[in-house]
Amino acid sequence: MDVMACDDIRQFFSTDLSGKAPLGFAAFFFDVFLLPPERRPQRFWVCAEVSIVSGGLLLFFASTLVDNQVTDNLGIAATSIASLAVLMLVVSIIFSTVSVIAVSTPDLTSVYAGCKIIGWAFLFINNGTILSFVAFVLSGLVKANGALVGWIVCGMGVALFATMNIFFGLTHMALLPLPHIHQQGWYLQAFACNIALSNYVMGRKSLREGADIQLTKMLAGPIPEDLRVVLDGDGDAKVV
């Protein structure tokens, strides 16, 4: 476990990814290693509480979209998507809770385990939120029964979804490119338009160019001693 933690931590604090498996959604939380050890568990408490509260509210909303009495194809699709959203949100709450339990000590290995777990929670709450959005739009079409208001709801949904993607490309992806280069291939393909937009706005040729800049700034600041030991290549033994 210590060896895995050291390898993945060094991988995150690098943009040379040749021959390495992507870190996935856990990479969005790896900046916690830059915090002093005593503050790392606090970061997980905050992340977990936000995830649990947000997931719980979305869970209540998505559950109202489930209608097991529908018989038409569009209604069945809406109910199926809403049901999947509910299940994903439940799983996200479970993983968020477990991540707090996992980070019982501030050492790098325990924090690494917490990052992996809450990364899965982030994956499920992200997809559960998107599916809840889609289910609501489809439910609006079903309840409108072909009326104009249904198509208005659908049009607003499409417009807002496109706006969200533009906003995501202009903010998180543009300003914090490092965790994005550590995602799997499906992620980079699904958000290729967002990546292209972020690169254009920031005046860079690739996501990696921005990641190099961000990484340089991150490593220029104070680095905890246990993290420095790992980055220097001396942390394959027990990480304390």
Question: What is the structure's pLDDT at 84?
Answer: 95
Nearest to 178, CA basis, from 198, 162, 197? 198
Average pLDDT along the chain: 90
Q: How many CB atoms lie within 10 A of CB 184?
A: 13
Structural domain includes residue 219: yes
For residue 239, is it within any domain? no
Domain contains 156: yes
What do you get for the CA distance between the two ends of the chain, in Å? Answer: 13
pLDDT at 237: 43
Domain membership of residue 200 (yes or no) is yes
Residue numbers of the domain that contains 101: 2-13+21-231
Q: Residue 202 and residue 204: Cα distance in Å, rounded?
A: 6
Rounded-to-integer distance, Cα 83 and Cα 5, Å: 35
* pTM of the shown model: 0.85
- Per-residue pLDDT band for 234 (boundaries 50, 70, 90) equals low
Domain count, the chain: 1
Q: Is residue 203 part of a domain?
A: yes
Which DSSP string corresponds to 187-219? HHHHTHHHHHHHHHHHT-S-HHHHHHHHHHHHH
Does residue 237 belong to any structural domain of this protein?
A: no
For residue 236, is it within any domain?
no
* The three-state (H, E, C) secondary structure of 138-164, written as one string: HHHHHHHCCCHHHHHHHHHHHHHHHHH
DSSP 8-state code for residue 145: T
